[in-house]
Amino acid sequence: MHFNEIEAIEPNTFSNLPSLERLFLHNNRLSRIPVGAFRDMKSLRRLRLDSNTLICDCHLLWLSEMLKEKQTTTQAAATCEYPVSLQGKSLTALSFDDFHCKKPQFTEEPTDVDVSFGGTVYFSCKADGDPEPEIVWLHNKNEIIPEEDARLSILNDGTLMITEARDSDQGVYECMAKNAAGEAKSRTAQIRYYGDRGR
């Protein structure tokens, strides 16, 4: 797949190819490699990403760490094009500090919410970081998976929305912000009910 002027690859393009031994992507126009692009490639022995336009910022930290872990089994060539200070340097030669990552820091944390039974609850959570942190919510220390309960959803700005509040929603809520540089946990918050339970 080299010399094809490829500009982008999707996160799962090469995942789940356990028998693939050699992947040549050199001499393309790739500037970013999505997280997990080479997941479950257990037989990979050679990977070429040189002669691309790789931007060696925090978004590529995961790849640098993966290549360092696999140095004994996988021969890899991947060099930076940007920033200029890292031009021509191998990804495996870079340290954590070279990527200028910023661990997540909260700009807004959840607070206790008063709600009547059957009402809608909103817990806010916002965080900065580089790369932009992913927001995950915990209820009584267990990760909330919105797909498992239609009443729960995580909005685009990180807010947790709970509709039709009920007894089982009581307990401790906290949000976690995660990125390649690390993770942070917010203070905890609870739902307080008022009025007639009605159920």
CATH number at residue 180: 2.60.40.10
Number of structural domains the chain divides into: 2
Q: Are residues 38 and 76 in the same domain?
A: yes
Question: Beta-carbon neighbour count of residue 25 at 10 Å?
Answer: 21
Task: Give residue 39's pLDDT.
Answer: 81
Cα-only R_g, the chain: 22
Tell which of 99, 119, 149 closes a domain: 99
Q: Are residues 87 and 118 in the same domain?
A: no
Residue 15 within any structural domain of the chain: no
Tell which of 49, 74, 99 closes a domain: 99
In the beta sheet, which residues pair with residue 106?
127
Q: Are residues 108 and 185 in the same domain?
A: yes
**Statement: residue 195 has pLDDT above 80:** no
Q: What is the C-alpha separation between 132 and 122, in angstroms, rounded?
A: 22
Percent of the chain with pLDDT over 70: 97
The residue ranking higher by pLDDT, 173 or 36, is 173
Can you tell me the mean pLDDT for 10-38?
Answer: 91
Q: What is the C-alpha separation between 128 and 105, in angstroms, rounded?
A: 5
Q: Are residues 62 and 95 in the same domain?
A: yes
Q: Are 175 and 123 in contact (CB under 8 A)?
A: yes
Q: Please give the backbone phi and psi of residue 99, each rounded to the nearest 5 degrees, phi first.
A: -85, -10
Q: Are 154 and 135 in contact (CB under 8 A)?
A: yes
Q: Are residues 151 and 136 in the same domain?
A: yes
- The CA–CA distances, whole Å, from 23 to 20, 101, 103 equal 8, 28, 32
Q: Are residues 106 and 157 in the same domain?
A: yes
Q: What mean pLDDT value characterizes the chain? A: 92
Domain that holds residue 92: 22-99
Q: What is the CATH number of the domain that holds 45?
A: 3.80.10.10
Residue 11 within any structural domain of the chain: no
| pTM score, whole prediction | 0.70
Q: Are residues 106 and 179 in the same domain?
A: yes
The residue ranking higher by pLDDT, 15 or 168, is 168
Residue 94 corresponds to which tokens in the numbers above?
A: 């870079």
Task: Give residue 127's pLDDT.
Answer: 97
Tell which of 59, 78, 99 closes a domain: 99
Can you tell me the mean pLDDT for 127-132?
Answer: 91
Residue 49 within any structural domain of the chain: yes
> What DSSP element (H or E) covers 63?
helix 61-69
pLDDT digits (tens, 9 = 90+) for 81-110: 999 999 999 999 999 899 989 999 999 999
Q: Which of 12-16, 96-100, 163-167 is the least confident region?
A: 12-16
Q: What is the C-alpha separation between 117 and 193, in angstroms, rounded?
A: 7
Q: Please give the backbone phi and psi of residue 13, each rounded to the nearest 5 degrees, phi first.
A: -55, -45
Q: SS3 for 131?
A: coil
Task: Give residue 111's pLDDT.
Answer: 97
Q: Are residues 121 and 95 in the same domain?
A: no
**Statement: residue 44 has pLDDT above 60:** yes
Residue 167 within any structural domain of the chain: yes
* Res. 198 pLDDT band, cuts 50 70 90: very low
Using DSSP bridges, classify how beta strands 189-194 and 172-179 pair: parallel, antiparallel or unpaired.
Answer: antiparallel
